[in-house]
Amino acid sequence: MGLAWTSMGGDILFIEATETPAGAGNLKLTGKMGDVMTESAAIAWSYVKKKGVTTTTHEKTFYKEHDFHLHIPAGAIPKDGPSAGITMATALYSLLSGRRAKHKVAMTGELSLVGKVLPVGGIKEKVLAARRAGIATLILPKLNEKDVQDVPKYALKGMTVHYVNHVEEVFQLALEGSKSTKLAKPGTKSQPTREESRVLRKKTRVQIRA
């Protein structure tokens, strides 16, 4: 699950990934993503595809014979910004590796082409959004650690915060440990908790900046 900043405060992002056979290696993006977020998705896919070739049993031809689809629900709401980069990479790697995403884990961070996790803005608002959504584990860029000082202490109570420098750390924290070499079934994703579903239903029609 990703975290975003909006004009109304922080919000959460559900990101879904699936694949379709008999494709041509294309990555389809839906969910009204802006230019910056589209670039972040391309970076995430380049990193994950390269990793998938070396860490799964999928041959290089697999990526030429399937299409892949990344979607952010609430499609009527415009979304932009770079901080969903590590979330999109995690969703894509979860798909390729078969490692399911853990529940009640949220993250934010820009992703570089070599896997570095870069700092983002709106940390206070994003942490408050995570609190409202009942998040238990929060993953933030190491370079944003100083910004957490501005977050009210009550918002962090009972929440475990991890500060990371590289997306490989994110994969270890956000995905279940058992590793499968088979691709997850198309459309497979972790089901949102009751609290997450409540927050998703309450999304307002405002522009989201990830």
Exactly one of 40, 83, 94, 97 is catalytic; name it: 83
Backbone region of residue 84 per phi and psi (left: phi > 0; alpha: psi in -120 to 50; beta: other values): alpha
Note if 190 is an active site residue: no
CB 79 within 8 A of CB 7: no
Kindly report the CA angle at 134 between 106 and 203, in degrees rounded to 5?
80
Helix (H, G, I), strand (E, B) or coil at 153: helix
Distance CA 128, CA 132 (A): 6
Q: Cα-flanking dihedrals φ and ψ of residue 104, to 5°?
A: 60, 35
Running DSSP on this structure, what letter comes out for residue 116? Answer: B
CB 106 within 8 A of CB 130: yes
CA 29, 110, 82, 32 dihedral sign is positive
Distance CA 206, CA 209 (A): 10
Strands 137-141 and 160-164: parallel
Active-site positions read 83, 126
